[in-house]
Amino acid sequence: MSHLWSFGIDLSGLPESFKNLVGIQVIGATLSVLRPKMGIPLKVFCAPARYTQGPHATVQLGAEIRKLGLEGPALIIAGGSAVRLLSETWGRTFAEEGMSYEVHRFAGECTTAEIRRGGKAARAMKARVLIGAGGGKVLDTVRAIAADLSLPVVNCPTLASSDAPCSALSVVYTELGGFEEYRIYRRNPDLVLVDTAVIAKSPLRMLVAGMGDALATWFEAKACFQAGVKNMRGGASTRTALALAELCYKTLLDDGVAAIAALHQQEPNDSLERVVEANTLLSGLGFESSGLAAAHAIHNGLTTAPGTHRYMHGEKVAFGLLSQLVLESQPQSIVDEVLGFSESVGLPITFAEIGIGSPSQDLLEQVAKRATAPGETIHNEPVPVTPERVVEAMRAADSAATSFRQSMPKHTCP
């Protein structure tokens, strides 16, 4: 439990090094203890200021922005599909609120150059709010631009392909598609608005990839909690964050298959609403306020293998999760549950399904070296981690997936 104590004692002559060590501040004759008792870290939980989800939510975009006290002009940075699907609705919703806006086309990858290009467009129109519309890479780019320009940001995902929309973090890639860096910002988005009528018309692979990203949230959250490490916001995890991460996992198991049916019909159903919430909100809050571990670090390592570049973030994270479960020596029942879910929705579970076939030892060592680089989230694991152990875990995960498939009942035609 944290406390703030004040004492009427003149300790202004204390050395600064001592005051910093014990967490006190001296103002005149008052000694204030600013930190909790040594050994009890502060818990930190972060979230967007507002989250709005439902069919045709874009109709209310202008009104939702106004409710937060934000004003135009607005710059919308959008992918091609978002422009095609939403241009007419943007015109109506901003006209109703008397808000001017412009649209800037996203080039396709969250790179340093693309962040600079978007920033130049925002400055040119004197934007007062930035809006990202599209997939996770669009939203990562918009958050980076907003942070650079100290502007409010609104995220409007048109895909449920990752947990990026709610976070105060961007994943920046090189021009060749390799992982470059995480950028962590001071605040989460001002508004996340999710139009499930749009998502119901999105490619099935995108939704499934989002499930792959979200699938890892609970396991990475547990690993960070067990290791006692800081979350993505620099504090300890709250029970709230862990509960949301677990709910995310349970939602996927309960509703993942049924949500796929909604995309086949191109109409939202209750299961799709719950899975979109899991992929976007539950996973986003769970990972940021609990932390990342081996699954995402192995994803980052996999980006060094050119064969994986055509595979989505969540697809590589799904394989990274299997490797994490092996690394942690999780019970076979847990591994089988994750494999069974992955098979049921079409997530990759073998080397071949993430583009590296029968990888050489050199290639896997390259992946493992990147995954275990200093500062990587794999060091949040509660077990010892070395590049050699990561290579072994990846090979064992691929082998476990192959054995799992072979053990499944064979269906024959009558």
Whole-number CA gyration radius for the chain: 23
Q: Which two tokens stand for residue 201?
A: 């018309």
Strand partners, 236: 43
What region does 108 belong to: left with phi over 0, alpha with psi -120 to 50, or beta?
Answer: left
- In this structure, are residues 372 and 387 in contact, taking their beta carbons and an 8 Å threshold? yes
Phi, psi of 43 (to 5 degrees): -90, 140
User: Could you tell me the sign of the dihedral formed by the alpha carbons of 37, 245, 213, 407, in that order?
Assistant: positive
43 bridge partner residues: 236
Integer Cα distance of 192 and 134 in angstroms? 12
Rounded distance between C-alpha atoms, residue 147 and residue 170, angstroms: 10
Beta strand 24-27 with 30-33: parallel, antiparallel or unpaired?
Answer: antiparallel
Instruction: Tell me the catalytic residues.
Output: 213, 296, 299, 313
How far does the chain reach from its first CA to its final CA, in angstroms? 65
Cα torsion angle, 174, 177, 179, 184, sign: positive
Peptide bond into 73 cis (omega under 30): yes
Which positions ≥6 away from 273 have C-beta within 8 Å?
A: 53, 54, 196
């942690």: which residue's tokens? 328
With 0-12 / 13-18 / 19 or more C-beta atoms within 10 angstroms meaning exposed / middle / buried, residue 346 is middle
Distance of CA 114 to the CA centre of its chain: 20
What type of residue sits at position 186?
R
Residue 196 DSSP class: H
